[in-house]
Structure 1
Amino acid sequence: MTANEYRAPSGRPPAQIPWLAYRFTRSDAVAAGYYVLFLLLLSFVPIDIPGLSALIPDPLVAAYVINLAFYAVGGVLALIAARAYVAREARILATRPVLSAALIPIGVILTIIASMVGLIITGEAETAVNQEAVQGLVTQMSPWLVVPLVVVLAPFVEEYIFRHLLIGKLSRYWNTWACCILSVLLFASIHIVGKESLSLPVLMPYLATGAVLVGMYVWAGNNFMLSYGVHAAKNLLSVVIIYAVPPELLQQ
C-alpha cells in the first residue's frame, strides 16, 4: 500500500477535494491568534490572576489549572476551526483500522529511535525545564488530572497548529518542505521558549519528535488526526513511565 492510497477513499490528496480546500479561515485566525498570544503571555509575562493564589495556594496546582484552562479553550477553538477536517480524517483512518492502529505505535517507536539518534549526535543529554515541569506535575498529581491535559488536549492543539496550519494550509502558499522545516523548528522552540536558552541538547528530543510527527502527517496525506494519535500515544507512554519509574531513577 502506498501513501497515496492511504490519503482518501477517492485516492486524491486532501487539497484536491473542493469542499475541503486547505484555506485559512477566520476560525483559524482566532484559534492561532489565541494560541500565540497566550503562549507568549504564559512564557514571558508573570501572570498573577487575582484571587487564584488565595483559592489555590499550591503553585503546582495553580500552574496546572492555568495550563488546563489555556489548552481547554485552545482545544475548543481548534475543534471549531478544524471540525470538518477532524471528521473527514477520522473517517479516512477508519477505512483501514488495522493499518491506522499499527501506525500509532510505529510512530511512537520512531520518535524514540529519532531521540536516541539525536542523543548520539549531540553527545550529551540535557533535560529541558519544560520536561522537568511535566515530570513534577505527573509525579505530584493524579493521572485522572494529568491525562486529559498532557495526553488529550495539548497534543490536539499542537497538531492543529504545527501540522494542520503550518503545513496543511500554509503549504498552499509556500514550499511544502519549507513548511515542514518551520513546523519542526517552531514545535521544538515553543517547548523551551521563555524557560531557558536555545541549545541543541535541550532542543534535540523535541526536534526528533517533531520530525517524526511531520513525517507521519505528510506520509498520510496531511492527516493530522494520525499525527495527533501518535503524539497522544507518545505523551501517554511518557506519563506511564514517569508514574512507573522511581523518581531517583528518572533523574539518572
Structure 2
Amino acid sequence: MGTMSLRPKLYRYNALDAVAVAAYTGLTLLFVFAGGSVQRLMLEVFRDPATASYAINAIFYAAVGIFALASAWRVARRDLGILGTRPWFTLGMVPLAVVVMLIVTAILLGVLGGAQSSQNQLGIQGMLQQVPAWLMVPLLVVLGPFVEEYLFRHLLIGKLSQYVNLWICCGISVVVFASIHVVGREGLVLQALAPYLGMAVVLVAVYVWTGKNLMFSYLVHAAKNLLAVLLIYAVPADLLPN
C-alpha cells in the first residue's frame, strides 16, 4: 500500500520542475539569440575559445542540474535501489542497449542516405580535442546525461503520462530530444537528426520497458556518451570531420 501511494507523488509536477524547465529554456534561448555576446564575454575570462565553450556548457548544465537533482533525488534513489537488487541485469542490459542504439542509428542513416554532423556534434568534438578528459568526462558522461534524462524522460514521459497518453508522451520525448540537439546552420535536416533520433528511440524504449526507471535510462545514456568520448580521444584529430 505504501509503494502504491508513494509512486503517484513521485510523478507529480512540482515547483522545482518548473524552475528547472525555466532555467533550461531560458538559457537555451539566451545562447541561441545572444550566443555571440555570451561567447565574447567568456573569452574575456578564459581567452581560449574551447575553454570558453566548455565553461558555457558547464554553467548551463550545472545551473539546470541543481534543480533537476533537487526535484528527482527521491526517484533516483528509488530507481538505484531497484537496479541494485538485480546487478547482473543492469551490467548486461546497459551495454546491450548501447549496441542496439548503434544498430538503430545505423539503420536510420542507411535509410536517410548517410550522416551529416550537426553544429552541436562538431562543437563537442572541438572541445574534446582541446579540453582535457578529466574536465570533459564529468560534463558529458555524468552531468549532461542526468539533466537530459530528467527533462526528456522523467518529465516528458514519467510525469506527463499522468495526464497524456503514454505513447504520445514517448513521441514528444523523441522529437524534442532529437530536435534540441540539432542547432546552427543545418536546421532540422534529417541526416543530422538521425543519430539523435536513434538515441532517443532507444532511451525512450528502455525507460518505458524498465517501468520508468530514470537511472537505467541515465546509465544507458552515460555509457553511450562515454563510448563516444573514448572514440573521439582515440581517433587522431585529422581524421575527424571538419
Distance in 2, Cα, partners of 1:128 & 1:119:
14
Aligned to 2:162: 172
- Asked if residue 103 in structure 1 is aligned to residue 93 in structure 2, the reply is yes
1:32 is displaced (CA, Å) by 1.4
Distance in 1, Cα, partners of 2:161 & 2:32:
28
Aligned to 2:202: 212
Aligned to 1:124: 114
Q: Which secondary structure state, in structure 1, belongs to the residue aligned with residue 187 of structure 2?
A: coil
User: Structure 1's 233 and 195: CA in aligned 2 closer, same or farther, altered over 3 A?
Assistant: farther
Aligned to 2:43: 53
- Asked if residue 23 in structure 1 is aligned to residue 12 in structure 2, the reply is yes
Asked whether the equivalents of residues 31 and 74 of structure 1 are also in contact (C-alpha less than 8 Å), the reply is yes
1:172 is displaced (CA, Å) by 0.6
Percent of residue pairs identical: 47
1:251 is displaced (CA, Å) by 2.6
- Asked if residue 140 in structure 1 is aligned to residue 127 in structure 2, the reply is no
Equivalenced residue count is 239
- Asked if residue 189 in structure 1 is aligned to residue 179 in structure 2, the reply is yes
1:33 is displaced (CA, Å) by 1.3
Aligned to 2:23: 34
Query: Would you tell me which structure has more helix in proportion to its own residues?
Result: 2
Asked whether the equivalents of residues 101 and 198 of structure 2 are also in contact (C-alpha less than 8 Å), the reply is yes
1:124 is displaced (CA, Å) by 1.9
Distance in 2, Cα, partners of 1:136 & 1:53:
16
1:193 is displaced (CA, Å) by 3.4
Distance in 1, Cα, partners of 2:57 & 2:196:
19
Moved over 4 A (4+): none
Q: Which secondary structure state, in structure 2, belongs to the residue aligned with residue 251 of structure 1?
A: coil
One-letter amino acid matched to 2:108: G
Asked whether the equivalents of residues 119 and 184 of structure 2 are also in contact (C-alpha less than 8 Å), the reply is no
Range 71-80 or range 164-173, more displaced: 71-80
One-letter amino acid matched to 1:19: L
Distance in 2, Cα, partners of 1:196 & 1:41:
19
One-letter amino acid matched to 1:41: L
1:47 is displaced (CA, Å) by 5.2
One-letter amino acid matched to 2:31: L
Cα deviation code 1:35-70 (max 9, x no counterpart)? 111112122323535863322111221111111011
User: Structure 1's 138 and 18: CA in aligned 2 closer, same or farther, altered over 3 A?
Assistant: same
Unpaired runs of at least 5, structure 1: 1-9
Distance in 2, Cα, partners of 1:119 & 1:52:
36
Cα deviation code 1:8-40 (max 9, x no counterpart)? xx9x9xxx7312311111111111111111112
Asked whether the equivalents of residues 153 and 173 of structure 2 are also in contact (C-alpha less than 8 Å), the reply is yes
Asked whether the equivalents of residues 38 and 70 of structure 1 are also in contact (C-alpha less than 8 Å), the reply is yes
User: Structure 1's 193 and 250: CA in aligned 2 closer, same or farther, altered over 3 A?
Assistant: closer
